[in-house]
Chains A and B, each alone.
Chain A
């Protein structure tokens, strides 16, 4: 049987052309991961600009307008450029390996999903340099401000459209792959958790990204074509935007965390040398989180003027989500219970994730209480809260995934000592940066403002020092990854003795084509 008879072309162009035209899920996964890292660095530099400005009270480095633009781009780039592409990268690499498929369902479409990220990020970055600068409205793009912004806002709108197309096509590909290309015997309730969480995430992406596209389209027509969606004089309402946006925005936070849950659900059993506790409940918990996530968007709008009945509904619905999330956390802990634990770097990041994400979850519960939220809305407490879920949640799980699967991708073991150092530096500096922000928020420091009252000075200085430490520590991560790609101790097909799943049955590094003959799962 030659390669063509199996439908696989091995006549791939060599050199850089390979990367432009590839239809291979591993190549595309690699592209996604590197793109994500570049965006992570770019968004990180923006974060450091923000923290440099906030190091001391008063205005030092950035004009207030510029500060707002940097805050906006930092958010958009981190969510749509760094976190989401990172998880799509893992999905591309691992889902076909995990379900025993030879590739993703649509190879060319897969490549398109990736390459669409480039125009989108070009538009976003260009917006910094056009007259009036980038959109300085916050990543939520609220009108009326977003209707009044300059040309940078239009670039942002079209960037969002292209990002939307990219992630919708990517998600259609993932859903189709999981539903249609599983190996014989791989029933739905045998799918590894990472794949399960991505299946549900992909559903969320397809359900809400079009709604976001609709929201920014409304801004666009209000800006240029005289429509009145968000204009009270025309019978519209700026609050309408908040509803449409957060109908997308809340499920979006699950889009950036559910794949992380999946990663943790695979790393914890591997280093506890026990099967995942409560697999079925894990699947149902993920599903419930996704479904409930469609009914809680109002908790972002408690201060926008809303009937008390609606506030109560959103408050209780939001708190309800703590139940399935709690199921997950207890399952992870029960998995570790009486396990033979070892603490390699993926496990360290997984434990860091569980500890810090639970804290982010609790501050989320605090914010879910309407009466409390009215005090904390738009303060640094909110900033602290969502960085505990996005950085300690999404980013830590991404690091866990990289260290967990790096041996499979490169065929080498990474430097465990340096990796542990990377973990501890990240863990410590993350908390130095963000823990103090809870206190700043409780004391009333507003977010998205380049200057602050003198009483906030000490905690801001601590936070900025932490941020620079956190940023610099990531250069160590880059170094570890590059060293691991170049060489290192050869990795066995299954470098983690407690790991389970089909991905460990192919050699390390995984060959260009895997599972051309599908395995049979018993």
Chain B
């Protein structure tokens, strides 16, 4: 290495991207067939999912090997940091679209449907929230903020704390603190997911609150659903990190993957706080 400043790791040719493109082709075409009730759909989606898992496992295996093999210097490390930050920013914007839809429904569309302009079409409709729209016939109850959602808030907030505690363990090379912190975080995440699943089944079975329950059901399930999906992804990534820790990966000064997952987890945490306030509470 003649010039340390110049050194930057460029990976050798790889088939993983091509396999990843194939996975998405299978997934997308399978999903299209499935939702249009073609029998081939589920099989294609399953195949796509299998290829996707194969690709993610294979690709990350290579990355982890390269990382543990010392091929990534500080500069590569800061590339990863930039990339993960911008990736999380893109996720923020994805959620923003759905928060925007909720805002629009509450501030514009529901009040508009109850305004003088719509009286002829929808008489006797009043703009109260929660609302399932003027065409909704039936009764549903809204999800109360206190109860499971409040408990879930506490769970996620403490999981953020346990993860930071695990990070301190990693920084000070206290491996047992690191492992315990990670296990606690994963555990809290799993409890969150099961409580969320319980809440959904309760809502469907006893509150008549469904995805089809007008704009309230729509925004409730889409926002909490996408959040729940992200918690699930987060728990999966934390588990991979835990496995790597158990194999002795990461050093106090070289553990970007840990931090990336931690950032992701905190992002999911913040989204939940917003959800708790605007979906459940106010």
Binding site for B on A (CB under 8 A): 1, 5-9, 11-13, 17-18, 20-24, 101-103, 105-109, 111-112, 114-116, 118-119, 122-123, 126, 151, 154-155, 158-159, 161-162, 165, 168, 171-173, 175-176, 179-181, 184, 206-211, 213-215, 218, 220-221, 223-229, 231-237, 239-240, 243-244, 247, 515-518
Cross-chain contact of A159 among B16, B28, B222 (Cβ < 8 A) = B28
Bound Cα distance from A5 to B10, whole angstroms:
11
Near A by CB (< 8 A), chain B positions 134-156 give 134-136
Asked if B14 lies at the interface with its beta carbon under 8 angstroms from chain A, I say yes
Residues of B within 8 A of A213 (CB): 94, 97
Main SS class of interface, B: helix
Say whether A235 contacts B16, CB under 8 Å.
no
Bound Cα distance from A173 to B11, whole angstroms:
14
Say whether B10 contacts A7, CB under 8 Å.
yes
Cross-chain contact of B108 among A13, A112, A237 (Cβ < 8 A) = A237
Say whether A176 contacts B83, CB under 8 Å.
yes
Bound Cα distance from A158 to B34, whole angstroms:
13
Say whether A214 contacts B25, CB under 8 Å.
no
Asked if B204 lies at the interface with its beta carbon under 8 angstroms from chain A, I say no
Say whether A7 contacts B75, CB under 8 Å.
no
Query: Whole-angstrom distance from the CB of A212 to the nearest CB of chain B?
Result: 8
16 further A-B pairs in the complex, CB-CB below 8 A; given A107-B10, A172-B87, A235-B216: A12-B12, A22-B13, A23-B13, A108-B16, A123-B32, A171-B86, A180-B82, A218-B97, A218-B101, A227-B217, A228-B212, A229-B215, A232-B133, A233-B133, A244-B100, A244-B101
Closest to A122 in B: B25
Asked if B68 lies at the interface with its beta carbon under 8 angstroms from chain A, I say no
Contact A206:B101 (CB < 8 A) given known A155-B32, A181-B8: no
Q: How many contacts A-B (CB < 8 Å)?
A: 244
Closest to B71 in A: A7
Closest to B221 in A: A227
* Most-contacted residue by chain A among B3, B24, B35 (CB, 10 A): B24
Say whether A12 contacts B1, CB under 8 Å.
no
The stretch among B109-117, B180-188, B252-260 that forms the contact with chain A is B109-117
Cross-chain contact of A175 among B35, B86, B98, B100 (Cβ < 8 A) = B86
Query: Whole-angstrom distance from the CB of A389 to the nearest CB of chain B?
Result: 24
Interface residues on B, range: 35 or more
Closest to B93 in A: A210
Closest to A213 in B: B94
Cross-chain contact of A21 among B18, B75, B96, B132 (Cβ < 8 A) = B18
Asked if B6 lies at the interface with its beta carbon under 8 angstroms from chain A, I say yes
Near A by CB (< 8 A), chain B positions 1-56 give 1-3, 5-18, 20-22, 24-25, 28-29, 31-32, 35-36
Residues of A within 8 A of B109 (CB): 232, 235-237, 239-240
Query: Whole-angstrom distance from the CB of A39 to the nearest CB of chain B?
Result: 16
Closest to A111 in B: B17
Closest to A8 in B: B10
Sample 15 A-B pairs with CB under 8 A, ordered by A number.
Answer: A1-B2, A9-B10, A106-B83, A107-B10, A108-B11, A116-B20, A119-B24, A126-B29, A159-B28, A173-B83, A210-B94, A228-B215, A234-B132, A239-B109, A247-B97
Residues of B within 8 A of A208 (CB): 93
